[in-house]
Amino acid sequence: MSNTNKLQTRFVTADEAGLRLDRWFRRHFPALGHAQLQKLLRTGQIRIDGKRAEASDRLAQGQSIRVPPQVVEAPSPEETKAQTQKQSAHDAVRLKKMILFEDADVIVLNKPSGLAVQGGTGLRENLDDMVKALARKGGGKPKLVHRLDRDTSGVLMLARTSFAAAKMAESFRRHTTQKIYWAVTQGVPKPAKGRIEAPLVKHGELMKVAETDEELEQAKSAVTLYQVMESAKGQAAFVALWPITGRTHQLRVHMAYLGTPIFGDPLYGGKKPSALPVDELGKGLHLHARRIIMPHPRKGSIDAVAPLPPAMQKTWAWFGFDGKAEADFSEA
């Protein structure tokens, strides 16, 4: 059935005479929010006797009210509640499979590639909404304390309490948290171990290393330590990365800056033609938040390691890279 067929015309009854239009809708369509009602009125989709109307209009017996399809088809509050509960249960199952560690203060997830951390245009789901399903009775929604790009997999920290969130945010701010990423680069970075200090500036929708005086004035400092763990005949390398700062797309831009973009990165050159056997390797961005070491909000420390996702496991296996390697940044 088309939406046109679901359009309804209703008539004001004697006991509804004198009601404001917005209250009439609240009585008949309680799931319709105020903002949505205002938009429908503003665009002329709701009418009284064929004429444009306002929420404050008073109704008279016998008047006709045009009710557009999206209002007719809107779920009832009971249906909405049931859908929300079903979605929450589904999210809880998915999230529990991602959990690497949890206690009363902290949740550590292994985020899959492709799942956005926060909402945005065109996104059907995001982690920030999903984690409502992990809220404990009497407690609020777990809080994000840092971010990962949508296409980056790996360790993501959440705080269960405001106290923990403040302590963890302070650890990131003071750089007492060590974040180790694993990546596969096209080509081998030279030298094999180093420190990249290249400030970043936004360029359209992307980031770039600042070069001009004008760009440098607007840029933010960005520092990355890197270490080549293994290489494959000069064609590719397994690289460990430690971003001292946490700028948007920092690791991706810095690796491209060295002339060795991260494999599978369509934004910063990782899709350029190369001698790599593309069809035999894993798909997607080869950047994984492998490990986080940080002070626990109350005592001790957290040392969380996320296993490689299946796509990157395939690449590691093809090249024969060591999946248990540990980077040493002690002399960096």
C-alpha distances (whole Å) from 90 to each of 77, 117, 131 are: 20, 17, 11
With a cut of 60, say whether residue 79 has pLDDT above it: no
| pLDDT at position 40 over 90 | yes
Count helices and strands in the chain by DSSP H and E runs: 9, 16
Out of 145-149, 230-234, 242-246, least confident range: 230-234
Q: Say if residue 23 is in the same domain as residue 111.
A: no
For 204-217, the DSSP string reads TTEEEE--SHHHHH
- Indicate which CATH number applies to the domain containing 18: 3.10.290.10
Q: End-to-end CA distance of the chain, in Å?
A: 66
183 and 306 in one domain?
A: yes
Q: Dihedrals φ, ψ of 23, to 5°? A: -75, -30
Among 14, 41, 74, where does a domain finish? 74
Asked which of 3-12, 259-268, 291-300 is least confident by mean pLDDT, the reply is 3-12
Residue 43 per-residue DSSP state = T
For 199, the token pair is 């400030």
What whole-number distance in Å separates Cα of residue 252 and Cα of residue 124? 25
* 17 & 135 share domain: no
Residue 149 sits in the same domain as residue 253: yes
Residue 119's nearest CA partner among 108, 101, 106, 132 is: 132
What pLDDT digit, counting tens, does each position of 100-121 carry? 999 999 999 999 999 999 877 7
- Beta bridge partner(s), residue 242: 225
241 assigned to some structural domain = yes
Q: What is the pTM of this model?
A: 0.75
Span 114-142, mean pLDDT?
84
Amino acid letter for position 186: Q
Domain-embedded: residue 266: yes
Rounded distance between C-alpha atoms, residue 275 and residue 103, angstroms: 46
The DSSP line for 226-273 is EEEEEEETTTEEEEEEEESS--TTHHHHHHHHTT-PBTT-TTTTTTS-
149 assigned to active site: yes
**Number of domains within the chain:** 2
- Alpha carbons 85 and 83: distance in angstroms, whole number: 5
Residues 233 and 284 both lie in one domain: yes
Q: Which residue has the tokens 């680069």?
A: 185
Name, in order, each residue with C-beta under 8 angstroms of 263's C-beta and a sequence gap of 6 or more.
Answer: 183, 184, 185, 186, 236, 270, 276, 281, 285, 286, 315
pLDDT at position 111 is 96
Residue 308 has pLDDT above 70, yes or no: yes
**Do 44 and 122 fall into the same domain?**
no
Question: How sure is the predictor about 272, in pLDDT bands with cuts at 50, 70 and 90?
Answer: low
Mean predicted confidence (pLDDT) in 143-172:
95
Pair of tokens at residue 106? 């902290």
pLDDT of 133 reads 86
d(C-alpha 188, C-alpha 262), whole Å? 11
Spatial separation of the C-alpha atoms in residues 30 and 239, rounded to whole Å: 56
Catalytic residue, chosen from 149, 279, 303, 328, is: 149
- Residue 33: which domain range? 4-74
Could you tell me if residue 146 is inside a domain? Answer: yes
Same domain, 215 and 267: yes
120 with 232, same domain: the answer is: yes
Confidence of residue 276 (pLDDT cuts 50, 70, 90): confident
Name the domain boundary from 38, 59, 74. 74
Examine the fold and report which residue of 58, 74, 90 is the final residue of a domain before the chain moves on.
Answer: 74
- Please indicate, yes or no, if residue 228 is contained in any of the structural domains: yes
Give the whole-number percent of the chain exceeding pLDDT 70. 92
Size of the chain in residues:
332
Give domain status of residue 220, yes or no. yes
Band of residue 65 on the pLDDT scale cut at 50, 70, 90: very high
Are residues 64 and 112 located together in one domain of the fold? no
**Minimum mean pLDDT among 19-28, 89-98, 177-186: which range?**
89-98
For residue 323, the 8-state DSSP code is: T
Between 330 and 249, the more confident residue is: 249
Is 326 among the domain residues?
A: no
Q: Is there a single domain that holds both residue 48 and residue 104? A: no
Do the domain assignments include residue 229? yes
328 lies in a domain?
no
Can you say how many angstroms the Cα of residue 141 is from the centroid of all Cα atoms in its chain?
16
Q: Are residues 265 and 230 in the same domain?
A: yes
Q: Are residues 202 and 168 in the same domain?
A: yes
What CATH number should be reported for the domain holding residue 218? 3.30.2350.10
